[in-house]
Structure 1
Amino acid sequence: MNDDRKSSPHPAEERPAGVILVPAPSDSPLDPLNWPRRRKNRILTVLCLAAFAGAIAPLSGQLNLAPQAKLYGKTSVQESYANSAALAGMAFGPFFVAPVAHRLGRSSVILWCVLGTLGCQIWGAVMTHADDYRAFVLSRLFAGFFGAVPTVLGPRVITDLLFLHQRGRAFTALHMAFLLGTIAGPTFSAFISANAFFPVEFWWTVGLLGATAILVFVCLEETGYDRDDPPRNPALPQAWLANRCATFFFGHRVVLPTTWAATAQMAVAPILIGICPVTLIMGTFTLISFGFYVGMNALVPVWLQRSPAEGGYGFSLKQSAAFTFCHWIGIVIVQLVGHRSNDRLPLALARRFNHGGWKPEYRLHVLWIPSLVLTPIGLGLFGAALQYHLHYMVLALAVFLVTIGALASVPVTVNYVVECFTRHPAEAGIVVGAYRIVYGLTISFYIDPWVAAVHVGWVYGMMAFFAVFAFFFVMLLMWKGHAIRGWQLASVASSEEGVQVDDGDRDKHRVVHHGGEEGREVKREEKA
Structure 2
Amino acid sequence: MSSSSDVVDTVPDEKHSTIVHNGPSKSELRTSDTGIILIPQPSDDPRDPLNWTFAKKARIVAVLFLAMFVGFSAPFCGQLNLAQQAALYHKTVVQITYFNSAASAGLATGGYLWWPLSNKFGRTSVIFWTLFGVLAAQIWAPMMTKHDQYAPYLVSRYFAAFFGVTVSVLGPKYLVDMFFLHQRGRAFTVLHLALNFGASAGPTFAGFVAAKAYWPVEYWWSVALCAFTIIVVFFFLEATYYDRGEGAVNRTKPDSWIKDRVETFFPGNKVTAQVTWGETARIAVTPFKIAIAPVLLIIAGFDAISFGFYVALNALTPVWLQLPLKAHGIYGFSVLGNAAFTFVHWIGFIVGLLYGQFFSDRIPLWLVARNKGVWKPEYRLHALWPTNFLLMPLGLGLCGIALHYKLHWMVFALAQFFVTIGSLVSIPITVNYICECFRTHTTEATLVLNSMRLFLGLSINFYINPWIAAVGIGWVYGMMAFFTLFAFMFLVALMIWGHKIREITPFRTSETEEGQHVLNKGEGPEDHGF
Residue 374 of structure 1 corresponds to which residue in structure 2? 391
Q: Check conservation: 1:85, 1:138, Cα contact below 8 A.
A: yes
Residue 178 of structure 1 corresponds to which residue in structure 2? 195
Q: Mark the CA change 1:328 to 1:7 in structure 2 (over 3 Å): closer, same or farther.
A: farther
Residue 515 of structure 2 corresponds to which residue in structure 1? 498
Distance 1:411 1:427 in 2: 16
Distance 1:194 1:215 in 2: 30
Deviation readout 1:32-60 (Å, 9 max, x if unpaired)? 11112221111111111111111111101
Distance 1:4 1:84 in 2: 49
Equivalent AA in structure 2 for residue 74 of structure 1: K
Q: Check conservation: 2:15, 2:253, Cα contact below 8 A.
A: no
Structure 2 counterparts to residues 107-506 of structure 1, below 5 A: 107-229=124-246, 231-308=248-325, 309-352=327-370, 354-490=371-507, 494-503=511-520
Q: Check conservation: 1:72, 1:133, Cα contact below 8 A.
A: yes
Equivalent AA in structure 2 for residue 161 of structure 1: M
Q: Measure how far apart 1:14 and its partner are.
A: 7.8
Distance 1:99 1:491 in 2: 22
Distance 2:300 2:267 in 1: 37
Q: Check conservation: 1:7, 1:36, Cα contact below 8 A.
A: no
TM-score scaled by length of structure 1 = 0.92
Residue 105 of structure 1 corresponds to which residue in structure 2? 122
Q: Check conservation: 1:77, 1:302, Cα contact below 8 A.
A: yes
Other structure's SS at 1:166 match: helix
Q: Mark the CA change 1:313 to 1:431 in structure 2 (over 3 Å): closer, same or farther.
A: same
Aligned partner of 1:74 among 91, 99, 112: 91
Distance 1:301 1:387 in 2: 16
Deviation readout 1:266-291 (Å, 9 max, x if unpaired)? 21222222210001111111111121
Distance 2:85 2:187 in 1: 38
Q: Check conservation: 1:105, 1:254, Cα contact below 8 A.
A: yes
Q: Measure how far apart 1:493 and its partner are.
A: 7.0
Q: Mark the CA change 1:456 to 1:82 in structure 2 (over 3 Å): closer, same or farther.
A: same
Q: Measure how far apart 1:504 and its partner are.
A: 5.5
Q: Measure how far apart 1:470 and its partner are.
A: 0.9
Aligned partner of 1:5 among 10, 14, 18: 14
Deviation readout 1:489-521 (Å, 9 max, x if unpaired)? 037972111111111667xxxxxxxxxxxxxxx
Q: Measure how far apart 1:7 and its partner are.
A: 7.0
Q: Measure how far apart 1:238 and its partner are.
A: 2.5
Q: Check conservation: 2:121, 2:269, Cα contact below 8 A.
A: yes
Deviation readout 1:148-167 (Å, 9 max, x if unpaired)? 11121111111111111111
Residue 22 of structure 1 corresponds to which residue in structure 2? 39
Q: Measure how far apart 1:313 and its partner are.
A: 1.6
Deviation readout 1:467-495 (Å, 9 max, x if unpaired)? 11111110000000000000010379721
Q: Measure how far apart 1:3 and its partner are.
A: 8.3
Distance 1:109 1:493 in 2: 30
Q: Measure how far apart 1:114 and its partner are.
A: 1.2
Distance 1:14 1:199 in 2: 54
Deviation readout 1:165-205 (Å, 9 max, x if unpaired)? 11111100110112111110000000001111211111111
Q: Check conservation: 2:322, 2:329, Cα contact below 8 A.
A: no
Gapped regions of structure 2 (runs ≥ 5): 1-10, 18-23, 524-530
Percent sequence identity is: 52
Q: Measure how far apart 1:237 and its partner are.
A: 2.2
Q: Measure how far apart 1:229 and its partner are.
A: 3.7
Deviation readout 1:400-436 (Å, 9 max, x if unpaired)? 1111112211111100111100111111111221122
Q: Check conservation: 1:424, 1:492, Cα contact below 8 A.
A: no
Q: Mark the CA change 1:310 to 1:275 in structure 2 (over 3 Å): closer, same or farther.
A: farther
Q: Measure how far apart 1:251 and its partner are.
A: 2.8
Q: Check conservation: 1:247, 1:253, Cα contact below 8 A.
A: yes
Q: Check conservation: 1:232, 1:256, Cα contact below 8 A.
A: no
Q: Check conservation: 1:386, 1:457, Cα contact below 8 A.
A: yes
Name the Cα RMSD after superposition: 2.0
Equivalent AA in structure 2 for residue 139 of structure 1: S
Residue 523 of structure 1 corresponds to which residue in structure 2? none
Deviation readout 1:189-239 (Å, 9 max, x if unpaired)? 000011112111111111111111111001111111111145432443221
Distance 1:246 1:18 in 2: 39
Q: Measure how far apart 1:297 and its partner are.
A: 1.2
Distance 1:65 1:5 in 2: 52
Q: Check conservation: 2:15, 2:255, Cα contact below 8 A.
A: no
TM-score scaled by length of structure 2 = 0.91
Other structure's SS at 1:59 match: helix
Distance 1:170 1:361 in 2: 18
Deviates more, 1:265-274 or 1:315-324: 265-274
Q: Mark the CA change 1:386 to 1:476 in structure 2 (over 3 Å): closer, same or farther.
A: same
Residue 100 of structure 2 corresponds to which residue in structure 1? 83
Q: Check conservation: 2:353, 2:424, Cα contact below 8 A.
A: no
Q: Mark the CA change 1:14 to 1:222 in structure 2 (over 3 Å): closer, same or farther.
A: farther
Distance 1:12 1:207 in 2: 48
Deviates more, 1:445-454 or 1:490-499: 490-499
Gapped regions of structure 1 (runs ≥ 5): 507-528
Q: Mark the CA change 1:24 to 1:78 in structure 2 (over 3 Å): closer, same or farther.
A: same
